[in-house]
Structure 1
Amino acid sequence: MRFGLLGVNTFHGAHPAAAAATARLAEEIGLDSVWAIDHVVVPATYDTAYPYDESGKMMGGEVEFDLADPLIWLAYAAAVTERVILATGVLILPQRNPLVLAKQVASLDVLSGGRVHLGVGVGWLEEEFAALGVPFADRGRRHDDYVTAMRALWRDTKATVDTNYASFTDAISLPHPVYGGVPIVIGGGSTRAARRAGRIGDGFFPTVAGPDALEPLLATVRTEADAAGRDTDFIEVTVPYGGDLSGLDDDARRQGVVDELCRTADGYAALGVTRLLIPVQPADALRALAADLADRYGITDATIGGAAAAV
């Protein structure tokens, strides 16, 4: 089990001093990755239900909050770090031009020394698609064709693709990513997302309520991967932590908060999850969490990365 930091490009993190400090802190305390979220616009009002919260609203219903473009934020973070993985968690792929995105992601990967993971999803906010002039109903098929297009551009010197939503002949897009491609992590908490991860994903980013909810999705990933002749050992599973972390900066409450996080991490690890993402917290709270995890797992290196190795 490894640990990463999620939501790094939101609120104060969307501004230069906090963005640099967050990226540096993640590396300092041993996190293996930073994950930027994505929305191009957030409608002031929307009827589409947010699928990952019982309220049906993201960010507790807040709509006016700073959210920096994920790729630009990650490029900024790349310049002040050396080790952490730079990831999107997740980018709404059907809203992007796949050729432009392939160029942006490959450029970021080269400039960061091969550290990019591209988490993608089909999106859920219909009103956002309408504002961008992108059809909502066919977003799943569009998403899959865009994955095909990007991989061809990253792999081939002269790429040719002919699908319903991406078609080009002998297209040259250089430089290629450092390792010949960028890991594509499929996001979503539905059975359909799990099937997609099994068929075409290098990773799976399910947003679920805990290990019990995740288990059937992972079974679906394995079934689809087997049917496609793929080895599930190469599909890395990254899960956001959905528990309450509000007591991390309170000495009286922190022990219980860490206990619950560790129980969840252990439950996920038993299912084969390889990374747990912690929502952005104040710097002192993250440092305290790192020390607590190190103590919990009986190691001397007080870093989350070190603790993760012992899970």
Structure 2
Amino acid sequence: MQFGIGLPISTPAALLDWARRAEAGPFDSLGLLDRLVWDNPEPLIALSVLAGATERVRLQTEVLIAPLREPSLLAKQAATLDVMSGGRLVLGLGVGGREDDHIASGTDLRTRGRRLDEQLEIMRRLWAGAPFGERCGPIGPAPLRPEGPEILFGGFQPAAIDRVGRWGGGFLAAAAPSWAGGLFDTARASWNAHGRTGSPRIVAQVNVALGSPELIEDARTSMGGYYEFSGRADHMLAGMLTTPDQIRTAIKQFDDLGADEMMFYCYGRDADQVERLAEIVG
């Protein structure tokens, strides 16, 4: 199983340090969350900066709320980062659930799932080199593969997970091991039902904080604020892993479920957590 670092969103200026430390350690990916009405860095711009500071690690959006964005521009942005990073972009996509994000972007919360499917059809056509339409030509640059960057889909409902098979992407599960297995099975079933060869890449996401009580409290405050809108902040905080033994247990559980990668999301701002996690997984 591979491992990645989910970058803290509260201190954008510090992310270069986090990225360089992860690049030097046993990590394979850098991940960034997405919101519009929040003080997080915009993921594609931030990962573009981090691409220039790294050479090896994947650059993953986890997940980019695609319905907030215009599809032809998103296709161009993703293809640009894909080419300039040497194919390291992984485009994790989801629909989001915050009404204020959609108010700010002028999009309709109620139709976000249908909009994502329409966006995927447009982006795949553009990445393959087709013109935008009868009165508008192709939109480059061309990504390294005709089908575009690798895509992951986040979600919990069967209709959302079925995009894994329909569009040929991997699955990102922000779920505890106790119920992630069923989600993994649904993603694999979608893959097989749509006649895909091989298997989807399965990425598990866990929230961690390793360090002093002050660091853990900092992480809890940041994470609690981020998830306050959901009404489930306390539940999310209860699942935060704060000891090496908890993290080792989760690694074994996800490995037994067949996860291909495990992303450690850090809400605490101390970058020394990268080395602490490296000691556990190294």
* TM-score normalised by the chain length of structure 1: 0.75
Measure how far apart 1:289 and its partner are.
2.4
Match of 2:10 in 1: 11
- What's the counterpart of residue 131 of structure 1? 104
Bigger drift between 260-269 and 285-294 goes to 285-294
1:170-228 per-position Cα deviation (integer Å, ceiling 9, x unaligned): 631222112332011101233332222232242111211x2221111122222222221
| Most deviating of 86-95 and 261-270 | 261-270
Superposition deviation, residue 292 in structure 1: 3.2
2:152 is paired with a residue whose SS is: strand
Cα distance in 2 between the residues matched to 1:214 and 1:168: 44
Q: Closer, same or farther in 2 for the Cα pair 1:218/1:292, shift >3 Å?
A: closer
Paired-residue identity, %: 34
Q: Is the 8 A contact 2:7 2:18 kept in 1?
A: no
Question: 1:81: Cα distance to partner?
Answer: 0.7
Q: Does the residue aligned with 2:49 lie in a helix, a strand or coil? A: helix
Aligned to 1:61: none
Listed one character per residue, the Cα deviations across residues 243-269 of structure 1 (whole Å, up to 9, x for unaligned) are xx444458xx9xx81222121111111
- In structure 2, distance between residues paired with 1:98 and 1:168: 17
Q: Which amino acid aligns with 1:239?
A: A
1:257 equivalenced with 2:243 (yes/no): yes
Distance 2:70 2:167 in 1: 19
* Residues 45-65 of structure 1, C-alpha deviations (whole Å, 9 max, x = no match): xxxxxxxxxxxxxxxxxxxxx
Deviations 1:77-118 (A, max 9, x none): 011111111111111011111100000111111111111000
Tell me which residue corresponds to 2:232: none
Residue identity matched to 2:151: I
**From 165, 190, 205, the counterpart of 1:224:** 190
Residue identity matched to 1:289: L
RMSD: 2.2
Residue number in structure 1 paired with 2:28: 32
User: Does the CA contact (< 8 Å) of 2:79 and 2:141 recur in 1?
Assistant: yes
When Rg is computed on C-alpha atoms for both structures, the one with the higher figure is 1
The question of 1:237 aligning with 2:202 is answered: yes
Structure 1 unaligned blocks of 5 or more: 43-65, 161-166, 295-311
Measure the CA separation in 2 of the matches of 1:176 and 1:70.
21
Could you say if the C-alpha distance between residues 92 and 247 of structure 1 is closer, same or farther in structure 2, counting changes exceeding 3 Å?
closer
| Change in CA separation of 1:171 and 1:249 when aligned onto 2, cut-off 3 Å | farther
Distance in 1 between the 2:184 and 2:209 partners? Answer: 29
Give TM-score scaled by structure 2 length: 0.83
Partners of 2:137 and 2:50 lie apart in 1 by: 30
- The residue number in structure 2 matching 1:81 is 54
SS at match of 2:86: coil
Measure, in 1, the Cα distance between the counterparts of 2:134 and 2:204: 35
- Whether 1:102 and 2:67 are equivalent positions in the alignment is no
What residue identity is the alignment partner of 1:3?
A: F
Q: Which residue of 1 aligns with 2:86?
A: 113
Using the alignment, how far apart are the partners of 1:184 and 1:292 within structure 2? 28
Partner-residue secondary structure (3-state), 2:159: helix
User: Does the CA-based 8 Å contact 1:186-1:201 persist in structure 2?
Assistant: no
What residue identity is the alignment partner of 1:194?
I
* Letter of the structure 2 residue corresponding to residue 199 of structure 1: R
| Residues 1:169 and 1:89: Cα distance change in structure 2 (over 3 Å) | farther
Contact 2:151 2:170 in 1 (8 A): yes
Segments of 5+ residues of structure 2 without an aligned counterpart are 217-241
Query: What is the aligned partner in structure 1 of residue 2 from structure 2?
Result: 2
Corresponding residue for 1:212?
178
Counterpart of 1:11, as a letter, is S
> Are the equivalent residues in 2 in contact too, given 1:249–1:285 (CA < 8 A)?
no
Contact 1:199-1:228 within 8 A present in 2 as well: yes
- Partner SS state of residue 41, structure 2: coil
In the alignment, the residues of structure 2 paired with residue 72 and residue 168 of structure 1 have an alpha-carbon distance, to the nearest angstrom, of 31
> Contact 1:34–1:86 (CA<8 Å) still a contact in 2?
yes
**1:159 corresponds to 2:131:** yes
Conserved? CA contact 2:211–2:273, under 8 Å: yes
